[in-house]
Amino acid sequence: MVAGDGQKRVPPEPSVLPQNLLGMPSFSFGRMGAATDLPGYAVGTAYHLHQFKSDFEDGGGDLRSDDFSLWTPVLPVNLGDFHLFGFASYRATWFRSSLPELLPGNDLNVFRFPVAFVHDVSERWMWGGFVMPGYGGAASSWNSEGFSLSALLGAAYAWSPRFNLGAGVLYYTGFNQSYVAPGVGFTWRPVDDWELFLIPPSAGITCSINEKTLLSAGGTYDSARWNFAADGAAPERNIYIRRVRVGLKLERQIGGPVWGYVSGGYSLFRKLEIEDRDGTLLREEDIEPAPYVQVGVNARF
């Protein structure tokens, strides 16, 4: 989540940058002669995260979990200053809890397929958006209640060679919910090897220790929803879990665009909600903070 190209550089004079029809694009936005020691943004990632066991705050049970997640770009298309991206995302979650009758231990999956559009107007302006259909539920019991749809429209402005500001509006519908949420974000490089960023749902600070090593501190809001079919223990239900993870991440270039990382910290403000298909609350639990560890790889361009 940091900007640059892996070594200190001064970008070319403003011009229409050469593009391949298929492949990762070159953006004019934000260049403006700024040098950086930081690598490019992560556009693909895969990781495993272990959330250690913690108790419900009312003392009525406990929960721990494991997640595997994959996010990858699919066939970027470039037409001059216009860029179209497809992505594929998959997340599998395994719970171990004191609520086996309501919270299944495995078979929970989230699939998302964002399609994003970007117009790279100039070194100072960029705008675009995405549409993201998704499905969250058990692979053994597909049904329409697990589908959702998100859409975002936003723009970014480069105030200076080191400071970019963006804003947008997100729409979401699914799982008995619909809402519209505005948001803002920024990246700021006070010096060549440091960056502060707010790119919802994440925020933090990154330092380039050397050309192949990054150290980051920050936090991210993480949530997931699943629909689970009726069974002998409970009716059809929607499961919603959310948390804020704060911690440190050490990242090292393995080769080319591939970077490996390990991170760890604490999950805070955790909450579990289980509702029936009509939105009636079956169970609600605040969960005590607990440590997590994460290992993964990023593809940076």
**242-280 pLDDT tens trace:** 999 999 999 999 999 999 999 999 999 999 999 988 888
Domain coordinates in residue numbering, the chain: 42-300
Q: Which residues pair with 117 in a beta bridge?
A: 84, 129
Q: What is the DSSP letter of 40?
A: P
pLDDT bracket for residue 18 (50, 70, 90) = low
- pLDDT over 70 for what percent of the chain? 88
Q: Under a CB-based contact definition with an 8 Å cutoff, are residues 214 and 191 in contact? A: no
pLDDT tens, 198-237? 999 999 999 999 989 999 999 999 999 999 888 777 788 8
The answer, yes or no, to whether the previous bond of 201 is cis (omega within 30 of 0) is yes
Nearest Cα to Cα of residue 297 among 261, 271, 269, 257: 261
Q: What is the pLDDT of residue 80?
A: 84
pLDDT tens, 51-95? 999 999 987 789 999 999 999 988 788 888 899 989 999 999 999
Which residue type, as a one-letter code, is found at position 98? Answer: S
**Burial call 127-140: b when 16+ CB within 10 Å, e when fewer:** bbbbebebbbbbee
Q: Under a CB-based contact definition with an 8 Å cutoff, are residues 166 and 188 in contact? A: no
Q: What is the pTM of this model?
A: 0.86
- CATH top class, domain 42-300: mainly beta
Q: Mention every residue, 6+ apart, whose C-beta is less than 8 A from residue 191.
A: none
Percent helix / strand / coil, the chain, rounded to 5: 0, 65, 30
The better pLDDT of the pair 289, 41 is held by 289
Q: What is the pLDDT of residue 157?
A: 96
Q: What is the pLDDT of residue 278?
A: 82
